Structure 1
């Protein structure tokens, strides 16, 4: 593990960080963090490509997340994220989007990373939501 602090942002689909999280990225960078972004860059959202990440200083990691909770790709995503967290020695994990966050929190637990933030967007676990939403996303 290097001497610099490292933060990992995780989303299911790419485009989320440049669209919504650049202020947080800048805050982390100003505080000395090396910022990494794990996402499925083969599924760009909020734009047609990932060009907005160029020149930001963010290190990107391809993880083949699936949006569907029961898709087997998500088991591989957990394994890949666990290995990434252990290899890079992250100090902080900030996850967004339901499946990316679910996989990331499981991987963080497996890798003994305790500084985990989950920002819920869309509130899939509101009062009256199906019980499966509460089990999967909360």
Structure 2
């Protein structure tokens, strides 16, 4: 049974909001409404039927180093929500993901600073979020070398 206020973390759709503004009817004012638009990204989480709820989908992400790039792949069917900052632990540097989510099938490549020493067991620390957007404990991942 689903608890009220819980949403499955599966698919994000974006909605653009449009606002119609009409000018007041004052002397000399045009009687036609004026159109203005306001765009906002609103996360709407929905998912395919039969996909079980997973409380820690960030554990399914695949992290690796390819040349001078940090690569993250989401080969799962889950939307992974997380803070944009990624800490490269041995190099003592921070990289930024383009969004606060990684969609199923999505891959991101982040350029490592020149001369970054990742050590013998390179790892990153990510800051995941639950399906409803609440912060959870940081998660450390050992990187695969490719």
TM-score, normalization by structure 2: 0.23
Instruction: Flag the structure with larger Rg.
Output: 2
Question: Which one has the bigger strand percentage?
Answer: 2
Higher relative contact order (CA 8 A, sep 6+): 1
Q: TM-score, normalised by structure 1?
A: 0.24
